[in-house]
Amino acid sequence: MLLRSLGSGVSGLKNFQTSLDVIGNNISNVSTTGYKKARINFEDLFNNNIQGSSTNKNAVQVGLGAQTGSIDNIVTNGVVNPTGNPYDVAINGEGYFQVTDGTNTYYTRAGDLKLNTAGTRLVTSQGMQITMVNENTTYDLTDCSAFTINGQGEIIGTLNNAIDNGDGTTTSSVNLGRIEVFTFPNPAGLEKIGNSLFQPSQASGNYRVDPTTNGQGKIVQNALEGSNVDLTDEMTALIEAQRAYQANARTVTTADQILQELVQLKR
């Protein structure tokens, strides 16, 4: 009995240490663009069967503590905050931007974009290229004085010099391409790899793109999605985890005191 209580108390200490780590990481990312908070779930360990069940009698079991069952990504949307920066884009709804470093492909909700060194296209803050379709091979951002991004991700550039159509009319804007939005059957199954990037896993499933609706998210220019961390919830969870840690520590110290009493019985 004493060894079981010690083991249960130690498992609780380990679990709530992990819980504090998860909560602390959430709090530290409260202002991280596009961050998705994590949530820890516990499950009980094996039970020691002291006596099996029989007719009209329940089994006699003693639990052996708890363990971490999963740490889930909570993929609810963060608040879309206006920034006034035309290079900032947010996804209002589901979906992720697809980016690449030339070798690997990742997914992100962070739309703090900038121009690449050549000034020809938009890249992430880490310099990764964002996936686009129907890119214009004749004109790029260097040929434009300004640009807008509509809800479907189409980049419309205002040309520095209008195009003479030869019929007495001119064209002052061109479509430079469309930013795609990718969705997953189970976005909570995406794995975080740092730098606000995710990679698919067996749990997330393969990405999907609907060319008619551009995924399930609407792109908003001049805005960034904030973290979905709620400080009120996290501070409450922090207090609960702290008290649970203290209670498990008390279980360990109480079991230790009883062991001490048993050792002293022979005196």
What's the chain's average pLDDT? 90
pLDDT at site 266: 66
pLDDT at 240 over 80: yes
pTM of this prediction?
Answer: 0.86
The 10s digit of each residue's pLDDT in 164-220 is 888 888 899 999 999 999 999 999 999 999 999 999 999 999 988 765 454 567 999
pLDDT in tens, 104-153: 999 999 999 999 999 999 999 999 999 999 999 999 999 999 999 999 99
Please name the residue that has the structure tokens 């971490």: 68
Residue 242, token pair as written in the block: 């702290």
Provide the pLDDT for residue 2. Answer: 55
Long-range CB contacts (within 8 A, 24+) of 183-188: 183/94, 183/95, 183/96, 183/207, 183/208, 183/209, 183/210, 183/215, 183/216, 183/217, 184/96, 184/208, 187/73, 187/75, 187/94, 187/96, 188/72, 188/73, 188/74, 188/75
Q: What is the pLDDT of residues 5-49, one digit of tens each?
A: 888 889 999 999 999 999 999 999 999 999 999 999 999 887 777
